[in-house]
A = this chain, B = another copy of it.
Amino acid sequence: MNAEFDFDKMNGLLPAVVQDSRDGEVLMVGFMNREAVEKTLEKGYVTFYSRTRQQLWMKGESSGNRLKLVSAHTDCDRDTLLLRVEVEGAGVVCHRGTRSCFTESVAQLSQRTAETKAAVVKETR
């Protein structure tokens, strides 16, 4: 089925971008090994491979916020997936309680890092 995916560039994994099929919001990026891709296509719900836990996990299996697959595309190099989904349950994808995981702007991050540094400098004076 996925004989043509290129799993070699990332030691057996493909990054998978999850996008809300209704409004195009990018919700998260996860990683998939061959088994996770097969399970996702077979079940119609997104299953990732956790790099930290080194095991498969169906996103939202316990919370109910499962990602129902609407379409799956690969790119010109066949080393990445774009999955359009409908979020079930409360519609919350991030474990922090937000819809998308991409909530922190890099400008905010830079600002906060600068403030932390300034506070540290102040404290250590």
Contact = CB atoms under 8 A, between A and B. Distances in A.
Interface in A39-58: 41, 51
Contact of A73 (B41, B76, B105): B105
A72 B105 contact: yes
A63 interface: no
A123 interface: no
Interface in A1-49: 1-4, 9-10, 15, 17, 19, 23-26, 28-29, 41
B29 A26 contact: no
Contact of A106 (B51, B74, B94, B106): B74
Interface residues of A, number: 42
Contacts of A15: 15, 29
Contacts of A106: 2, 41, 72-74, 81
Contacts of A28: 75
Interface of A: 1-4, 9-10, 15, 17, 19, 23-26, 28-29, 41, 51, 71-78, 80-82, 94-96, 101-107, 109-110, 112-113
